[in-house]
Structure 1
């Protein structure tokens, strides 16, 4: 349930950064550079979040397997 707001926030962030880059492409290179850097950092954050969530699912399934074995 916590992932729904996370996906929404990532989508809004990527959309706004993309629009900021597109609208300032020939005008203000500083804004374009900072926005591009933020986009790259946001993608790195998204990859890290995916890794953490997938590791958490693996650990949870392993823990559930151990609990069911100990109850038998």
Structure 2
């Protein structure tokens, strides 16, 4: 069973983003679009700090490239 991780609390406790603006954003959430962008940035930084960005690489299935010559053969 996976436990729910409160990434905002973890960031507050770690002190990585301890300025007044970031602290307010982590505690109260975003109020406008740009604050949402910054909150997303902090979430991606948290994932990178924890090493979670390497856990789920997306494999490219079904979009394998073929040559232009193969494409022309299919059209004719």
> What TM-score, normalized to structure 2?
0.30
> What TM-score, normalized to structure 1?
0.31
Query: Which has the higher Rg, Structure 1 or Structure 2?
Result: 2
User: Greater helix percent: which structure?
Assistant: 1
Relative contact order, higher structure (CA 8 A, sep 6+): 1
